[in-house]
Amino acid sequence: MDKVKFRIFKSRLLFILVCVLSGVTAIPLLAILGEVLIKGWNQLGWSFLTEATPNAYKAMLAAQAGEEMPGGIANGIIGTFLMLLLAAVVAIPVGILCGICLSEYRKSWFATFVSYLTDLLQGTPSIIIGIITYIWVVVPMKGYSAIAGSVALFIMMLPLIIRSTEETMKVLPETLKEAGLALGGSYWRVMLKVMVPTALGSIFTGILLAISRVVGETAPLMFTALGGAAISWNMTKPMSAVPLLIWEFFNDPNLQNLIWGASLFLLAFVLCLNLLAKRIAKKWKV
């Protein structure tokens, strides 16, 4: 009986210890979220989301007069969505096809080589990707551009989509593919019409997580897109993004108050993507 009580005591003690350590771990996260929410909530408004970033002179005049900071982050929002859209349009089909090939031909030397390169690319620091993209795209184009920023984001998204697709295709039952082949379908028709739609939920979740992973990157865009104060739709010209604006606000004393609103918008966007990914994963679980 004493042994049973001792085991119950150890179980409860371990449970309490895990709860306490989890709470301690959550304290920095809650402190960051609370600080951003308190200081950034009042800034989020229609003008903040639809107007371009003010220049330092206008911001200085507003601060001296005690007025509300003019302008917003519309140029960063537009730039972020345009660069993410272009990167995703290329990365999604390439990543899915590459993931399918790795799952189907996993024993070949080529698949092993590509898998190793995928792991290497996934672990490459983002600033290195920015420098490489600068050499590959910015220098030949003789100027910074949103296209160069999209290439950098594409390189960062690709290994995440490849890995999520590969792991999802591996857990699908082989009988599913065998049934499609038995009905007379060609190999790639079965893959694209049967296997991929079955795994679509998990693949789409991986795509959303890849987007949420790169949406907050600053270093690659500093070497490629450079940034800009005006709202621009021209992908061949320098373009701003929300992470770039946060960095610019931090370096300008007159614009530092705008950091909180931009940070809150970025956190809310990433949170929505993660919640959507979890909902899709729960609904279409393979």
Greatest CA separation for the chain = 80
d(CA 19, CA 116): 38
Pick the more confident residue, 197 or 148: 148
State the pLDDT at residue 265. 93
State the pLDDT at residue 69. 75
> What is the second-level CATH architecture of the domain 74-283?
Orthogonal Bundle (1.10)
Mean pLDDT of 144-167: 94
Mean pLDDT of 277-284: 76
d(CA 239, CA 255): 19
Q: Tell me the per-residue pLDDT of 224-251, one tens digit each, with 9 for 90 and over.
A: 998 888 888 999 999 999 999 999 888 8
Answer whether 102's CB lies under 8 Å from 166's CB.
Answer: yes
Quickly list H helices, 41-186.
Answer: 46-50, 56-65, 74-104, 109-122, 126-133, 139-141, 146-171, 174-182
State the pLDDT at residue 89. 95
The count of other CB atoms within 10 Å of the CB of residue 91 is 26
Residues 6+ apart with CB under 8 A from 132: 155
The tokens of 127 are what?
């600033």
Residue 48 scores a pLDDT above 60: yes
Helix, strand, or coil here: 6?
A: helix
Mean pLDDT of 218-223: 92
Mean of the per-residue pLDDT values of the chain: 88
State the pLDDT at residue 80. 94
Residue 286 scores a pLDDT above 70: no
List C-alpha distances in Å: 35 to 30, 259, 260.
8, 12, 9
Least confident window among 39-53, 61-75, 211-225: 61-75
pLDDT interval class at 1 (50, 70, 90): low
Mean pLDDT of 133-148: 94
Mean pLDDT of 14-27: 92
Q: Tell me the per-residue pLDDT of 49-90, one tens digit each, with 9 for 90 and over.
A: 888 888 777 777 777 777 777 788 999 999 999 999 999 999
